Amino acid sequence: MSSLIVIGFNNEADAFAMRAELAKLQTQYLIEMEDAVVVTRDAGGRPQLHQAVNLTASGAVGGMFWGTLLGMLFLNPLLGAAIGAGSGALSGKLSDIGINDLFMKHLGATLTAGTSALFLLVRKATPDKILEALKPFAGKGTILQTSLTTDKEEELRAFIEGKQEPASSAGTEER
């Protein structure tokens, strides 16, 4: 079962930096994230979602490949590539994987200008090693929402808000 964790920051840079650090930890197999999105507010006050994966671009590439392949069957690969890229980009833009975009926009609307929130959907984690790697972020954020158990949420809240050192059992769901 996956765990949702939403961490608020007083600036935009900390959310992007934490997401980058978690992505690095994912390459080391210490955490398995289904989704990691940074939400900010633009000058007009609208929430902006900064997805880790650009679904529109990946859809366009996949669509272009399949369109070219089908276009070769009908002796017009360029037309097939163009149609495939367009339809792939459209399907990528309309698809929603991981955390619900409407939920993130709704919560992002509560942010003030210049602040941000990091939305994480974590499938598996090694909490003690992750919290050790995230020590530079201790005291920089606020837990806005989680789906963790009450005791794990309190331990994570104390760490992120800088109220205690990481405990060996703090964090997210263990393997």
In a domain, 146, yes or no: no
In a domain, 133, yes or no: no
> What is the rounded CA–CA span in Å between residue 139 and residue 165?
10
Domain count, the chain: 1
In this predicted structure, what is the pLDDT of residue 94? 52
Question: What pLDDT tens digit does each residue of the chain (175 aa) get?
Answer: 788 999 999 999 999 999 999 999 999 999 999 889 999 987 788 888 888 754 455 555 565 666 666 666 676 667 666 666 666 555 555 555 578 888 888 888 888 888 999 999 999 988 889 989 999 999 999 999 898 889 988 988 999 888 765 454 444 444 4
The reply to whether the predicted model has a pTM over 0.75 is: no
In this predicted structure, what is the pLDDT of residue 103? 87
In this predicted structure, what is the pLDDT of residue 108? 86
In a domain, 103, yes or no: yes
> What is the rounded CA–CA span in Å between residue 73 and residue 18?
47
Domain boundaries, position 87: 32-114
In a domain, 74, yes or no: yes
In a domain, 155, yes or no: no
> What is the rounded CA–CA span in Å between residue 74 and residue 91?
23
Distances (CA, A) of 95 to 54, 90, 91, 101: 11, 9, 6, 10
